[in-house]
Structure 1
Amino acid sequence: MKQLFLLFFFLFSISGISQTNVLVIQKLNSKFTKEIKENKRIKVWTKDGQKIYGRFTIKDSTSIIIEEKVILLEDIIKMKKKSLFGTIANPIFIVYGSFMIIAGVVTVGSGGWGAIIGGSFIIGGMPLVLIPSISNKYSIQDWEYSIKIR
């Protein structure tokens, strides 16, 4: 029993030590930092106008690799974290929110109770359209990129 306990302790300690490298994004006007682990999906806009999307790996302390392309951190002008759920769900939310806004505008025109119901559709549809469009964007004007190698 004691040997089994030591085996489990050894296995869990190895998994705790073997952590991955992370891409660190720090807000320029505060100390807020966000860490993105290696092999996560990101979309990167570079200075030469390229948009590159995919899972990234860290090459060294100044560059990352996406889709077999080496990208220097200093060449990135904007970055967006893209989860698989967001990639699938965001277009659905945007379309559903747009239908809610359109239905709200049509219903508001009928007057009376329709104006109240239509207003609630418009108010409910706006976050469904706006939040997926603006979330998880990190522009070079507001954020600083670095790599933490562990």
Structure 2
Amino acid sequence: MHKALFFITFLFFSFASFAQENSLKILNKRIAKEITIKENKRITIRTHNGEKISGRFTIFDEQSIEIKNQNILISDIVSIKKNPLLLSLFTNGLLVYIGLATIAIGTIAGIFGESSAFLLTIPGAAIIYAGVKGPNFLKNYKTNKEWSFKTMSIPQ
């Protein structure tokens, strides 16, 4: 019994030690900068035909990645931008909250005070739209600015 338990434990740790995590490597040789994005992270990409795709990515093979069941060749990617979920939730929620507060203040001030305060609903609606649209303030890595993309495996 002890030998079987030892053997199973040994197998478990040996598989874990040889495991490798796939990632997407973004590099710029001109400024000697290298960024690594691990697999299953949220990214937004643009392709040569103008298509914008965002979501969690998985590496399909050395030449392509997969986002939302769409296989995308790395050579077709024009730009990549990180799109972390926590940042998206925070900025979107904050902008929608500020927009709703602006509309509420404009409506209350218009009812009980000056009627021109109703005009505050216009920027409030614009702020809500910006929150729903989802701004992303992170850096965009573009191929026309000498960034290149490739897949790699990171030993754990």
2:123 corresponds in structure 1 to none
Aligned pairs for 1:23-102 within 5 A? 23-92=24-93
- Which residue identity does 2:46 align to in structure 1? W
Report the Cα distance in structure 2 between the residues aligned to 1:95 and 1:27, rounded to whole angstroms: 37
How many residue pairs were aligned? 116
Q: 1:147 aligns with which of 141, 145, 151?
A: 151
**RMSD of aligned Cα (Å):** 2.9
Whether contact under 8 Å (1:61, 1:149) holds in the other structure is no
Report the Cα distance in structure 2 between the residues aligned to 1:65 and 1:75, rounded to whole angstroms: 13
Structure 1 length as normaliser, TM-score? 0.62
Aligned pairs for 1:131-142 within 5 A? 133-140=136-143, 141-142=145-146
2:108 corresponds in structure 1 to none
Larger Rg: 2
Question: Structure 1: which 4+ aligned runs deviate by more than 6 Å?
Answer: 3-9, 95-98
Structure 2 length as normaliser, TM-score? 0.60
Report the Cα distance in structure 1 between the residues aligned to 2:50 and 2:61, rounded to whole angstroms: 23
SS in 2 for 1:57: strand
